[in-house]
Amino acid sequence: MLDYFLAALTPLNFLLALAGVAAGTIIGSVPGLTATMAVAVLVPITFGMPPESALILLGAIYTGAIYGGAYAAILLNTPGTPSAIGTTFDGYPMAKRGDGDLAVTIACLSSLVGGLIGAFALLLLAPPLATAALAFGPGEYFWMAIFGLSLIAALSTRDFLKGLIGACFGILVAMIGISETSGEVRFTFGSNTLLGGIETVSALIGLYCVPVLIELAARSERHLDAPEQTRGFRLPEAFATLMRQKVNVLRSSLIGTLVGALPGAGGSIAGLVAYSEARRSDRSEPAYGTGNPGGIVATESANNATVGGGFIPTLVLGIPGTPPDAVILGALMVQGVRTGPTLFNDGSSIVYTFIFGLFLATILMLPTGLIIGRFAYSSIVKAPKAGLVPVVAFMTIIGSFAIRNSLSDVGIMLVLGVIGWLANRRGFSVSPIVLGLILGRIAEEGFVQSWTIGDAMGSIPGQFFGRPLSMVIIALTALSFIYPFLPDIKRMFRRGGEEAMPEKANAKDRASTAAILRDLAAVGVMAAVALVALWQCTLLNPEAAVFPQTIAIGMLVLCAFAALETLLTRRVVEDRSSGSTPRRIAVPVAMAVGVALAPVLGFALAGIVMALGLFLAAEHDKRTARGWLILAASVAAVILIFTLGFREALSVPLPRGMIF
Amino acid sequence: MKKYMFAAAAGLVALTSGFSAFAQEFPPGQVEYIIPFGPGGESDITARLQQPFFEKLYDEQLVVSYKPGGGGAVGWSQLNSMADDGSVIMGVNLPHIIVQPKQGNVGYDTDDITNVYMFHYTPDAIVVRADSPYETLDDLIAEAKANPKKVTFSGSGKGTANHLVAIKFDTLAETTTTYVAFKGTGAAVTAMLGGQVAAEWGYTTVAAGQGDQVRMLAVAMEERHPTFPDVPTFKELGYDIVSGAYRGIAVPKDASEQTRRAVSDAIASINADPEFQQKMIDGGFALIDVPYGEEMDAWMAARAQEYIPAARAAGVID
């Protein structure tokens, strides 16, 4: 063992681990640049290296990228990688109240612990865990997706019905394109653009980030409260938080390791499951979803634990545990390394050197992560709005382009962003939509497969409800769904049910007729979406239609309930914050112009034109001509650097157009 | 005057060298190799295996990039709008490019794609877990006949090579089995290893990756695979099945005849390298050589004749 440890510690490997973590953290912090992409870009570089060093570099980048996703989640409410979705729930509220620096440090410490626990599991328990993961069949994947969806109950306590409707909407959006299992073309309305489906990461960027940009431009107050004096890393505070949350850290890291070991799950689900469990067992104030550090601890420790966990099936079974693992597996094959049980049992030096390299990378994440995190925090807190909005907007565009090298993905991102913003105004939170989008596909696959197998075996209920592992997940799901309503239910019993919802009677909550009409219109639009989906389903073969059909019918029923609730209670949940409407409209318009100009002018120049528009939309301060010039020049410089970096370092074929 | 003469001469030289650059043989510089799938799949792995040999051959970089979506359709529908000077080549997969355009509007037609070389295929195979009760293909067929529908196979998705072969097998063996569609080969292997299904319609690459964890009952090749000399072919057992997922290279349709041949030759030379061959065979792949020209046209026509009725029988196309 010690030999392997020493082999991992050669100066070259040490340098590779350090560089990998730093590069990964930076890449992961840009929304759109995922861990998968970071790893894929660097694969050719590793061909010239010895296999151990190659693996260490790739593992380090992967680790760093998963952690880096937390920055954008905390500071911009936009998960940098899908794994960081859960981090936005509490990270952004913390940043809003001025604790962004603390949140970043907590994320770093949690990632460290999660990463170490995942790596320990890989070192000590890999073969048995890989075997255990195989027990997870289609039924279990289906129920796990439903378990993830149970988070809706928590994320939309403002209006549970609207949360459910939003999730159905997300699921239907996920069905667009060629179905990978049934091979059917669904909901594309003849458009080639939609054929490839809605890319999850670009959808995430649009749904989370565009509304933030719109609201940033609309009002003059600062994006995040800046601290009066620098407070350093706030390491002791973060450490104390983690000590208070030690059960949470351990549980979330274990969840992350186990979910990571499931081929077909991945970091985003691990984070969501851990978050859901943490919320259920933690009663401390402030509540989860409004800035409780426990939410960050849960998500970040779980998603970094999936790194080690995901390598378990990758190395033991030769089946990738997470998407980045698939890339690493391919790189290993090219290197001539055969994965599989023999690789582990023979105690071949590659595996153990790699695992110690992973430990090394994880530990190096502490200093690098803190320093880069500090830099990310201070640059976002200090940046004036007129600079922040164009730069972040450009990042969202270049990021969603880079995923599939496709401008139509950028267009879809923008459209979804506007939909997300409108939905949010009408009281449909974005997070349930995102959950539907991510979990819908997994749920459908598991559902159809269980159905097919059950049908063949002559026992469909047995496939869904008769499997022991499924039963456990079903029980957890039920708990998770009911839990947020426990106080209400208790109250209902205590008062003998005579007045279940005390708010109902409260006269000042009663909404105006205009608000009710607005609400009914929004619910009506959702119902119309469901109807269109139902109509489209009649054109599909039964296997491809059964799942979206069920969801659309459910969505219609929910819409009816929501309309009824609004009419009866005269209570409307919506977001009517103040701010300038022209500025709001200007943001997506400027972005759309930028996207349209990109193939004509070239990416960077179109970006600068767009930046100019956003600059005007978001400028609230009085600035001297000189200040204006400095700001404009620095925004242009950032855009140029990004374009060059993407084009040259990451080989992204950005449209060049006429100029640049 | 002399100065002008010189300038004119220089201009002429520049012009001719420009011409020769235009007519220059492949590659024009760095070549982008687009895989219309995500990283980590077989298309990616084989591209990565070709990469170093290409660079050895031409001393130019072969940059592998990805354009996933729609089971490859996103990439293929954009192929003809890309640079036609040989600086862009794209991976193509069968049966995808034959079956997809028949399923509805997927943004391209089979004939829109200029295939210049088919370089390998992953032969279909029936794979079971090492501890499975089915020792031979006959065991499995006997079970399927005794209990119609109850023998379940995992596979990599509806309309893929192994779905079509599953249907063909049912017809030839006169059995009724259940095909459970998973999302790709990895998920199908997981389901088979986990005992969620009785067997997997997989490829020889699965057995190469899983080693003694699994057993192949038969492979859909003309002759036995060199890595698995003990596994019989379907043909030996009396079922006329030779099939799999074929992979090749295409160029945009505006590429000149010369460029098409040059790319074809390049892939042919890589395929002829013994070191490359060994790497492919170890991975469970089977090499084929279908170059650009009449040979390709005839080969594609034969495949279409095979796949389209199969896809119709499978209910994937109308």
Model confidence over B28-54: pLDDT tens digits? 988 999 999 888 788 998 999 999 899
Measure A148 CA to nearest chain B CA, in Å: 20
What confidence score (pLDDT) does residue A511 get? 77
pLDDT band at residue A317 under the 50/70/90 scheme: confident
Angle at B116 between CA B205 and CA B294, to 5 degrees: 110
Measure B311 CA to nearest chain A CA, in Å: 11
What confidence score (pLDDT) does residue A658 get? 76
What confidence score (pLDDT) does residue A347 get? 54
Q: What is the CATH number of domain B28-121+244-313?
A: 3.40.190.150
SS (H, E, C) chain B: CHHHHHHHHHHHHHHHHHHHHHCCCCCCCCEEEEECCCCCCHHHHHHHHHHHHHHHHHCCCEEEEECCCHHHHHHHHHHHHCCCCCCEEEEEEECHHHHHHHCCCCCCCHHHCEEEEEEEEEEEEEEEECCCCCCCHHHHHHHHHHCCCCCEEEECCCCCHHHHHHHHHHHHHCCCCEEEECCCHHHHHHHHHCCCCCEEEEEHHHHHHHHHHEEEEEECCCCCCCCCCCCCECCCCCCCCCCEEEEEEEECCCCCHHHHHHHHHHHHHHHHCHHHHHHHHHCCCEEEEEECCHHHHHHHHHHHHHHHHHHHHCCCCC
What confidence score (pLDDT) does residue A505 get? 42
Domains B28-121+244-313 and B123-219 share a fold: yes
Mean pLDDT lowest among A91-100, A109-118, A184-193, B279-288: A184-193
A46: which chain B residues are within 8 Å (Cβ-Cβ)? none
Tell me how far apart the alpha carbons of residues B129 and B133 are, in angstroms, rounded to a whole number: 9
pLDDT band at residue A341 under the 50/70/90 scheme: low
Amino acid at A196: G
What confidence score (pLDDT) does residue A345 get? 64
| Most confident listed range (A250-254, A261-265, A382-386, A511-515) | A250-254
Measure A190 CA to nearest chain B CA, in Å: 7
Q: Which residue has the higher pLDDT, A225 or B301?
A: B301
Nearest by CB to residue B39, choosing from A36, A136, A313, is A36
Q: Cβ distance A267 to A303 under 8 Å?
A: yes
A145: which chain B residues are within 8 Å (Cβ-Cβ)? none
What confidence score (pLDDT) does residue A229 get? 66
What confidence score (pLDDT) does residue A179 get? 82
B51 reaches A (C-beta below 8 A)? yes
- Closest residue in B to A261 (Cα) is B190
Measure A442 CA to nearest chain B CA, in Å: 10
State whether A137 and B191 contact (CB < 8 Å): yes
**If you average pLDDT over residues A248-252, what whole number do you get?**
96
A312 reaches B (C-beta below 8 A)? no
Measure B215 CA to nearest chain A CA, in Å: 15
B83 reaches A (C-beta below 8 A)? no
User: Of A200, A186, A161, A187, whose CA–CA distance to A554 is shortest?
Assistant: A161
Please report the residues numbered 249 through 268 in chain A whose beta carbons come closer than 8 angstroms to any beta carbon of chain B: 263-264
CATH: 3.40.190.10, 1.10.3080.10, 2.60.40.10, 3.40.50.740. Which one for B123-219?
A: 3.40.190.10
Q: How many contacts (CB atoms, under 8 Å) link A and B?
A: 176
pLDDT band at residue B17 under the 50/70/90 scheme: very low
**If you average pLDDT over residues B141-145, what whole number do you get?**
95
A190: which chain B residues are within 8 Å (Cβ-Cβ)? 105
Measure A182 CA to nearest chain B CA, in Å: 5
Tell me how far apart the alpha carbons of residues B169 and B145 are, in angstroms, rounded to a whole number: 13
- pLDDT single digits (tens) A505-550: 444 567 788 889 999 999 999 999 999 999 999 988 888 899 999 9
Residue A5 CB coordination number (10 Å): 15
What confidence score (pLDDT) does residue B64 get? 87
Q: Cβ distance A440 to A170 under 8 Å?
A: yes
Q: What is the pLDDT of chain B when averaged over all its residues?
A: 89
Selected residue of B89, B147, B196, B281 to mutate for chain A interface (largest A Cβ count, 10 A): B196
Tell me how far apart the alpha carbons of residues A453 and A456 are, in angstroms, rounded to a whole number: 5
Residue B314 CB coordination number (10 Å): 21
SS (H, E, C) A86-97: HHHHHHHHHHHC
- Closest residue in B to A458 (Cα) is B150
Domain-wise residue ranges, chain B = 28-121+244-313, 123-219
Tell me the sheet residues that pair with B94.
Answer: B246
Q: Cβ distance B193 to B129 under 8 Å?
A: yes
Q: Which residue has the higher pLDDT, A271 or A2?
A: A271
Please report the residues numbered 623 through 652 in chain A whose beta carbons come closer than 8 angstroms to any beta carbon of chain B: 651
Q: What is the pLDDT of chain A when averaged over all its residues?
A: 87
What confidence score (pLDDT) does residue B14 get? 45
What confidence score (pLDDT) does residue A32 get? 80
- Tell me what ipTM this predicted complex has: 0.85
User: Of A73, A65, A54, A58, whose CA–CA distance to A28 is shortest?
Assistant: A65
Tell me how far apart the alpha carbons of residues B116 and B293 are, in angstroms, rounded to a whole number: 8
Rg from Cα positions in chain B: 22
Mean pLDDT lowest among A188-202, A381-395, A498-512, B270-284: A498-512
